[in-house]
Structure 1
Amino acid sequence: MPDGDHPEDDDAEPDGERASGGAEDARQAADAGGDGQRTADAGDDVSRRWLIRALVGLGIGIPVLVEARTLYHMLAGYLAGGGGGRETTAQSTTSEPTTGVGDELLPGTEPRDTLAEAELRVADDGWVFHATVAVENAGDAPYTLELGAVTTNAGTRVDGGADSGRVPPGESRSFDAEWVLPTGETPDALAVAGVVHADGGDDRTERTVALGNVPTRG
């Protein structure tokens, strides 16, 4: 081989280029890895920020929601009640039907106790409530109807009354009763009791009868 040729030098130059290229590739790979890591870190930062914002939003939003609901119920109660003040609960009550002439005084008993007449007699010396009751004993035992005290529209209790005596089974009887009321007051209720005289003892039924409008005469 001629002295001017240096094949070793020709082979050395490509090896250097390959070494340089390998280093460049390593740097690029490292840069790429760093970019990927930075991207991942940036993504984690964004997720943490959104999580923190969500937690803060919940911490603020829940109390606000509770307060808004409370305010809503307060306003609803105010409007439903027609204004301020303490809330009240209305309780419906069923008033007892009134009894007038021709009605039974004790509809729950077997004997019939009918208010045959009722009137308020107005006089200078007082107002007198007069009642006539007809008893028809359809039961199997003797029966007695008792009329007790009268309560006026002013709440005055007037004692007195009368009773039918023992009415045998299958028989009928009528009797009268009168109560002198304070002037200007009208009968509002009448205490009534029915007694069945059975073999095993008396069976007593009591009731306060609400009276309807009693006719006035005078």
Structure 2
Amino acid sequence: MTESNSHKEDPSGNSTKRLVKVLVIIGIGIPVLVELMTLFNLINVQIFEGEQEVNQQNESIAELRAIEEGDTLFADYSNALTINLLRIKVSAQEWRFALGLNSVDSLVQQQLQVKVDSLKLQSGKILSGTGNNPWEIDDTVPLAMSAEWELPNGDIPGILYISSFQYIESDSTKRIQQEIPLGKIPVRYNQE
């Protein structure tokens, strides 16, 4: 009799073991799933969307050369700027677009006023300019400024609309606006 009683399993012990197994699977499975989705988005953006972008480019944008890191904005004006940072920072929680600019001429950097009017993503969505994303100013020579925008996951910027305020005389300025198609933007994964 004692043998048959010892072979019977305790139902509360089975449900506890089953619950522990399910919790372990969920605890390990969710972070692995998030990392795999992030990896898939990176691969999709870098490989597949690059080919689609070439095939679906608008003719008006195709006529303009895409700007990349190291290129100069407002080159024909006194307050020319060099792009020193152009990145998409990806983490498990968010995607961020970082833009950094340097003043080319250290003599006019005190008069430098730049505003990003908006940022058009490849999905067609428009993000507001530097109003919600103030420039971080580094008072080095040449003057450096940077700003970041939060992006929808998997979406990357296509066109930057930017304005520079050029001083004509001591008391007047002229607003110069440019539509800048962005070239291939490096994507950097930040593990947090």
Per the shorter chain, which TM-score range? 0.5 to 0.7
2:68 counterpart SS class: coil
Moved more, 138-147 or 194-203: 138-147
Assess, with a 3 A threshold, how the Cα gap between structure 1 residues 164 and 148 changes in structure 2: closer, same or farther: farther
Tell me: CA distance 1:214–1:151, structure 2 relative to 1, closer, same or farther (3 Å): same
Contact 1:98 1:211 in 2 (8 A): yes
Q: CA deviation at 1:122?
A: 1.2
Q: 1:116 to 1:188 in 2, by over 3 A?
A: same
- Larger radius of gyration between Structure 1 and Structure 2: 1
Aligned counterparts, 1:101-180, within 5 A: 101-137=69-105, 138-139=107-108, 142-161=111-130, 162-163=134-135, 172-180=142-150
Change (3 A) 1:140 1:125: closer
1:99 aligns with 2:55: no
Structure 2 residue corresponding to 1:183, chosen from 150, 153, 161: 153
Runs (5+) with no aligned partner, structure 1: 1-91
Identify the match of residue 216 of structure 1 among 182, 187, 191. 187
Give the structure, 1 or 2, with the largest relative contact order (CA under 8 Å, sep 6 or more).
Answer: 2
Q: 1:164/1:107 Cα in 2 relative to 1: closer, same or farther (>3 Å)?
A: farther
Gaps of 5+ in 2: 1-58
CA–CA separation in structure 2 for the residues paired with 1:196 and 1:143: 8
Q: TM-score, normalised by structure 2?
A: 0.56
Is the CA contact (8 Å cut-off) linking 1:150 and 1:191 kept in structure 2?
yes
Deviation at 1:164, TM superposition (A): 7.6
1:208 Cα deviation after fit: 1.4
Shift of 1:150: 1.1
2: distance between equivalents of 1:199 and 1:110? 14
Return the alpha-carbon distance in structure 2 between the equivalents of residues 106 and 145 of structure 1.
11
CA distance in 1, matches of 2:80, 2:136: 12
* Contact preservation (8 Å) 2:109, 2:142: no
Between the aligned partners of 2:150 and 2:89, the Cα distance in structure 1 is 9
Match of residue 9 from structure 1? none
C-alpha separation between the residues in 1 aligned to 2:109 and 2:68? 28
- 8 Å contact from structure 1 (residues 141, 196) kept in 2: no
Q: Displacement, 1:188?
A: 0.7
1:207 corresponding residue in structure 2: 178
Between the two proteins, the alignment pairs up a number of residues equal to: 123
Q: Which amino acid aligns with 1:173?
A: L
Identity of aligned residues (%): 18
Determine the C-alpha separation between the residues in 1 that align with 2:77 and 2:66: 18
CA–CA separation in structure 2 for the residues paired with 1:99 and 1:113: 12
Paired residues of 1:113 and 1:145 also in contact (CA < 8 A): no
